[in-house]
Chain A
Amino acid sequence: MSKAFFILVLHAHMPYVLDIRFENTLEERWLYEAVVDCYLRLIQTFDRLMTDGIPFGLTISISPVLLAQLENPLFIRRFIKYLNLQIDLTEKEILRTIRIPELAPLAKMYNGYYRDALRTFEERCNYDIIQTFRSFQDMGALEIITCAATHAYLPLLRPALSGIRTQVTVAKKEYKRIFGRTLSGLWLPECGYFPGLDTLLLQAGIKYTFLDTHTIQSSEPIPEYAAYAPIISPSGMVAFGRDVHTAKEVWSSMDGYPGDSDYRDFYRDIGFDLDLDYVGAYLPGEVRSYTGLKYYRIKKNRGQNRIYVPEIAERKVSIHTDDFLAHRLKQVRDLSLSMGFPPVICALYDAELFGHWWFEGPSWLEMLFRKIFECGEYFTPVKPSDYLKQKPMLQRSQPQGGSWGWKGYNEVWINEKNSWVYPHLFKAAEKMEALAVKSGWNVMEERALNQAGKELLLAQSSDWTFILHNETLSEYATKRIKEHLGRFWKLIHQIETCSIKEDWLCEVETQDNIFPSFNYKDFL
């Protein structure tokens, strides 16, 4: 039986939520929670694996807009403040639960959790999460890639191709600036692909990407081995296909591991359970929302929430890693019979699933890599670039299009709730392109053009149309789109009427302080 290749990709992304005008907003909390629950815990996991000499060969995609926030001094200051606030809350909880024996150990656990996060951030990372991830890459432990600049959903930017090219160009430039090497692979936001995108990516020097299962399977000619062997498009782009089984085992809300009733319930939080007088000071705007302190397990059917017991959850993690590996072994055996060469099993996940939505996720990952190392005669974790260095023979096939979103195509990002956004994005891109092609701008005008370009990039983020579709924070998403495009057109008006207000330009540059490598000519 051939040894299979196992490519595990975690895609980390947060929309741009830092706002210099307001502190401790609900949206900024998303970022802090992702850092504590996911990114710092991944760093701790990688450290432990490396200390024990266990290779993990994992790939991480970190979006440029997330990178921009993590390196922003505003984030560093506010994140430390957030952690101290959380530590303060947990100490209050320790006192409150001192006579509640089933909750007291959990309160202490959370106290240790946030103290550990602060220590990792300050001492291990030296306040620089990005450089910590970079060090793992420099040691060869993992491969870091990135995605479109502001996570724009590229198939729906087709009428304004300059928008797509700029998203990719900025991604490439920011990656080079931050990681000091050339980007070879690109994560497509939502795995959104259309025929012709491969050519655009190759023009930017991107060699490979990842596509959803059905996108690979509908390629022309039909791929001989479905998603278990990467294909190469006629233009030369390599596409790795997502394995549907690893997706279902981890992602499925019904049957996936994270929904197990011994795992921590994300939704049952003291921010909703306890008196607002008690917990309000720790909530953004003193309005009920998640604090991160959760004491209960996921509800089983219609039963009551049971108290969370970390030891029970850890045992379940072990069971689930064994289950995952058993499925992979069966897969490898079945595939080896028909393929005649090592299959490639590609597991793609959002990074935030591990730790934030699925609290036990980082433990599951660590245990998985330990078990693969112990009994990994059937498959080996590999990074996509290392796989391609072996110069495998790939079937030439043209993917047709699709995404990993609901229903497999574009409907999440274009429907009756969000279709109004796109003409505005196209008109702005056309304007940007028209101005970028001109020359003779003075220094101030170039500054304004650069900032206008950044506002357009921020408006193109797929997060806003996604939120509008889900109707979770529709007002917020609408506000963000209109603010960014409003600033865009205000800047354009000032440029065209030679009336740039430098004070206001400075404010906007400080507020939307992203992508130092971006230049308005990237829209050409």
Chain B
Amino acid sequence: MDGILEGLQTVAEPINLLMVLVGCIAGTFIGMLPGLGPISAIALMIPVTYGFEPATGLILMAGVYYGAVFGGSTSSILINAPGVAGTVATTFDGHPMAKRGEAGKALAIAAYSSFSGGTIAALCLLFAAPALASVALSFHSPDYFALTVLGLSAVSAFSGPTGTSDSDPSAQQGSMTKALMMVILGLMLATIGQDVASDVPRFTFGSLALLDGISFLLLAMATFALSEALLTAMRSSSSGEVKDERTTESIGSLKLTRAEIRELAPTVGRSSIVGFLIGVLPGAGATIASFLAYAMERNLAPADKRLLFGRGSIRGLAAPEAANNAACSGSFVPLLTLGIPGSGTTAVMLAALISYGVRPGPQLLVDRPAVFWSVILSMYLGNVVLLVLNLPLIPYFARLLSVPPRLLVPMIFYFSLLGVYVVSFSIVDLLFMIGIAAGAVVLRTQGYPMPPLVLAFVLGPMMEENLRRSLVLYDGTLAFVWQRPLTGSILLVALVIATLPGWKRLFGRLSRSR
């Protein structure tokens, strides 16, 4: 209790309150720019924080982190350009909402859901951080491997598609085959580059440019933003002008009705818990959390609501947003309690902490309680500031959509290309990106979904590495599946999810025969 009070006192200092505000504003702006996600935003802040007190520097970076995640959600919703893996799921329903004139509501839902997710997670962190840390340690390689299989099964199961009725399981099965093919393609792309364990170059064909593999940003920009912009440009009217697919130029009201709030409350609650628990696992992160939350809500939704997923469902938007933000808080658990960064972003923060002379770990709570608790409390404060700051700005953000497509589309091309260029300064990367985007357009017009490809690309290295370690640990056998109940359980859930269309078909036949 003394530690919490000390942390509260630290956070309430004027300089720290100012840092939360500055961090949130800077993070939101930077996060909206394709190519500059939370990691870049925090890395840019590190030199700024030299000379600050450790708590102050960390508070600033936490504010930037949350701001950047929210900024990434904004670009996901408005222009279908997820700059970070954790906001890919936001595009599924956020962008369709924006296209039909509900950009304001979509951004508001994202803001409220993120706030709720972050708040719930901050409370969980406050009370359960040390205990959760020991649970996180009980996850071993087989469990992580099973988790990646679960994530990919979930995304394949729900990546059917728009326009597929739940009463037609056979159509779902056909689209699941396409989704699984995209998973395999994504995993194949992830193997390009040097093998982590042996440094053997794989599928580089002697090219130095491919030695580091393909960057996530390049793939995400190509398959989402660039391909979406190309499809928009390709839909021409009889006069040859770009057809405006938006049904209205209005951004709609930001207000949610009571019925919508009642509908979203359980979604946000469940997704926040799932997001936080997944975020606690080192390496699992916001990506898996957002996809799992989306899949969970889609499966829990009543039949009429389930049809809306992928077409602008408010549940489909709220779930990944709440989970994403909750996972960000969750990722601080292994960082602060064990000194193990849970994500790339927290790895950068670990480096910053060490540069301040603060060593995260089990002793941090004992030796520097003010730092520990002020970080946790600043997370909650950061969420409040983000909500208060960004809600009034939403109508201005959403105005971006009022720009005519003939002007907006080239700008999206430019942002996407610039985002990749400033990271690598490689023309080869840009050409590769354009090629992937063209391929993505062809695939999308034939019903092949992109999210499974992107998620598989992100999870591929983790999947391979953990499978390798599991096989080494169990003498080259798959004994870990039945010898570890946790692994077996997760894989069983994955199997059930993957075969869901088949089960529905079977039960449908059984009920018809009665």
Whether A associates with B in a native complex is no
Interface residues of A (CB under 8 A from B): none
Mark B residues whose CB is within 8 Å of A.
Answer: none
